[in-house]
Amino acid sequence: MYNYANILFTGEKCNSMCYECIGNHPSLNALPFNLKRFPIKNIDKLVDLVNKFSIPDLAFTGTNVDPQLYRYERKLISYLRENLNSETKLSLHTNGLLALKKGTFNLYDKSSVSFPSFNADTYKKITKVEMPNIKHIIQTSTIPIKLSMLITPFNKEEIEDYTKKSAELGIKRIVIRKLKGKEDEFPIESYPFFKKPKKFIFGWPVYDLNEVEVTICGFDKSNAKGLFLFSDGRLEEKLVQ
Establish if 41 belongs to a structural domain: yes
pLDDT tens, position by position, 108-161: 999 999 999 999 999 999 999 999 999 999 999 999 999 999 999 999 999 999
Establish if 241 belongs to a structural domain: no
* Residue-number span of the structural domain to which 99 is assigned: 4-236
Establish if 11 belongs to a structural domain: yes
Establish if 79 belongs to a structural domain: yes
Q: For the range 89-94, what are the long-range contacts, defined as Cβ-Cβ under 8 Å and sequence gap of 24 or more?
A: 89/56, 89/57, 89/58, 90/58, 90/59, 90/60, 91/57, 91/58, 91/59, 91/60, 92/59, 92/60, 92/67, 92/68, 93/59, 93/60, 93/61, 93/62, 93/67, 93/148, 94/60, 94/66, 94/67, 94/68
* 92 pLDDT tier (thresholds 50, 70, 90): very high
pLDDT tens, position by position, 163-189: 999 999 999 999 999 998 888 899 999
Establish if 157 belongs to a structural domain: yes
pLDDT in the model for residue 220: 82
Establish if 52 belongs to a structural domain: yes
pLDDT tens, position by position, 24-83: 888 898 899 999 999 999 999 999 999 999 999 999 999 999 999 999 999 999 999 999
Domain count across the chain? 1
> Is the pLDDT confidence value at 241 over 80?
no
Its pTM stands at 0.95
CATH code at position 171: 3.20.20.70
> Is the pLDDT confidence value at 240 over 90?
no
